[in-house]
């Protein structure tokens, strides 16, 4: 069903993005991997994807910069001849305790919203024409922080709430050709939480399934929305082991 299609995965070299890219590649999807800083990781993931028998290339772009995004999408379409799937996985945060209001600096707000909201929108806008031609789909990786108001910082939580709203808006605007959905993970075992074992243990204990997510847990839900949910759009699927019920 997906064999021969092309997916662009932002922030695709590590963590959740890597897991999504590899799972799609196993179904025969050619993968364009975006990175902004981690070129070595992107190259390693790209080779893993090629070893699965599909095409893959890496593209450096800061998604918070519209011109870079437009150039990237144009290059992907030229290189692969099509763009069928966009996964907006790139994200960033600054860790600031919610009670530290003065610590939530202006530049932190700009950094976080620049990637998590504007960057997501820039990618959707730039890819929309190609996705309409291929009747493709978009998956935005948000977070339960956008639903609970809890997370690494107030600005991060707000950015993910905004991303959920943008998902709904774009689902209307790009229909009927393009479906747009979001996946909202809880805490996931990635390098973002390295060194925070006490925090992980506490959160896992409060989750009905008794553990935090792996990147593969998130990738499986993303895959299902791409491959098996042709009548689903504008939705946010929470993947947190039942923590947010």
| Whole-number Å distance between alpha carbons of 24 and 29 | 5
Cβ atoms of residues 241 and 211 within 8 Å:
yes
- Is 9 within 8 Å of 20 (Cβ atoms)? yes
User: Of 59, 108, 156, 223, which one is the catalytic site residue?
Assistant: 156
Locate 240 and state its tokens: 């947190």
Q: How far apart are CA 158 and CA 99, in angstroms?
A: 15
| Cα 87 from Cα 12, distance rounded (Å) | 9
Read off φ and ψ for residue 114, nearest 5 degrees. Answer: -60, -40
Would you give the distance in Å from CA 24 to the centre of its chain?
Answer: 14
Active site residue 108: no
Say if residue 201 is preceded by a cis peptide, omega within 30 of 0.
no
User: Catalytic residues, which ones?
Assistant: 156
């Amino acid at each position: 069903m997906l064999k021969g299609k092309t997916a662009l995965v932002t922030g695709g070299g590590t963590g959740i993005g890597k897991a999504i890219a590899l799972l799609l590649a196993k179904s025969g999807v050619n993968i364009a991997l975006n990175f902004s800083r981690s070129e070595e990781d992107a190259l390693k993931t790209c080779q893993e994807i090629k070893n699965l028998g599909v095409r893959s290339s890496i593209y450096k772009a800061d998604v918070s910069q519209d011109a870079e995004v437009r150039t990237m999408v144009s290059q992907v379409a030229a290189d692969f001849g099509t763009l069928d799937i966009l996964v907006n996985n790139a994200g960033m945060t600054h860790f600031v305790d919610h009670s530290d209001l003065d610590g939530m600096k202006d530049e932190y707000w700009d950094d976080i919203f620049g990637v998590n909201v504007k960057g997501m929108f820039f990618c959707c806008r730039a890819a929309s024409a190609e996705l309409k031609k291929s009747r493709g789909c978009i998956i935005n990786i948000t977070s339960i922080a956008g639903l609970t108001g809890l997370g690494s910082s107030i600005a991060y939580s707000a950015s993910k709430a905004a991303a959920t709203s943008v998902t709904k808006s774009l689902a209307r605007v790009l229909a009927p050709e393009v479906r747009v959905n979001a996946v909202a993970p809880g805490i996931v075992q990635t390098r973002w939480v390295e060194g925070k074992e006490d925090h992980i243990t506490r959160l896992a204990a409060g989750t009905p399934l008794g553990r935090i997510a792996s990147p593969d847990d998130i990738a499986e839900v993303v895959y299902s929305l791409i491959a098996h949910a042709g009548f689903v759009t504008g939705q946010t699927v929470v993947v947190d082991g039942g923590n947010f019920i």
